A and B are shown apart, each in its own frame.
Chain A
Amino acid sequence: MEAWLFYIFAIGTLAGGAQVVLRRNPIYGALSLVACFFFLAGIYVLLAAHLIAIVQIIVYAGAVMVLFVFVIMLLNLKEEELGHERVTLWKGIGLAAVLIGTAIVVWQALRPAYPGAPVHDNALRVAGFGTLKEVGHVLYVASVLPFELTSLLLLVAIVAAVVVAKGKI
């Protein structure tokens, strides 16, 4: 069952990601990226990362992609402004070769590291693995300074986005 779900989610993720790269119109790319993020959230649930799966849907598929769609519609590009880039045969062959090569290299490199059955499966071994309580404990105890600095980073990003996009204040 878990293997079936993994292959379904993996194919969906890769199909969504491929659409982002291959589609000419960015709005189709943005919507396939949303689909890709939803499938990826399913993969995260399979990895017992429940909190991160929810954060992925809320922050990525919700907030970040809405920002992308807003900007695409704000720019309102005409057909001729999209340029005439096409996916040529050689680009397709190169892309497929790079992807298949990467997969083979990673597969062969990892083969000796994980022999046989899973030995350390933290989803079974660690109590409460990936839950809000566990991850929150790490965030607020082990890495409280980076956590607070992240809020500062987001504040700087908000101000920077307004200043850069506004032109004249």
Chain B
Amino acid sequence: MLDFVTKFFGAHQAQHYLVLAALLFGLGAAGVVLRRNAIIVLMSIELMLNAVNLTFLAFARFPLVRESPMPVGGFSSGHAAVFFVIATAAAEAAVGLAIIIAVFRSRTSINVDEFDSLRL
């Protein structure tokens, strides 16, 4: 079966990872748009951030250029970018969940359709 898959999709390289990242990003975006539960919206944002990380890593291993344009570090700069994205995502999750708790205290609901006022 794998022979058929390899023949159909070509050799195993960057495209596969990038298509997977695109699918993951699409899933996350659909979750943000379709769901009304605020916690699930936050988790979908995490999915999208992970899709971006996957593209960074795919381009770090299979770059389109032979020499890296970065003066220091070369192609490992992609990994450093992923590191920063992970740190930012952790901060975003902490603040987002704190906001959800604060809103839940005043409205006893986490339905995003009811978040229609800046006042708590």
Contacts and interface: CB of A to CB of B under 8 A. Distances in A.
Q: How large is the interface on B (under 10, 10 to 19, 20 to 34, 35 or more residues)?
A: 35 or more
Interface string A33-76: 10011001001100111011001100110011001100110110
A121 B62 contact: yes
B77 to A, nearest CB: 6
A161 B63 contact: no
A6 to B, nearest CB: 6
Contacts of A83: 36-37, 111
B115 interface: no
Nearest to A58: B86
Contacts of B61: 47-49, 121-123, 129-130
Given A3-B5, A139-B80, A164-B95, A49 B15 contact: no
Contacts of A141: 72-73
A114 to B, nearest CB: 6
Interface in A135-160: 135, 137-139, 141-143, 146-147, 150, 153-154, 156-158, 160
The 5 A-B residue pairs with the shortest CB-CB distance, nearest first, are A138-B73, A157-B91, A142-B72, A165-B98, A161-B98
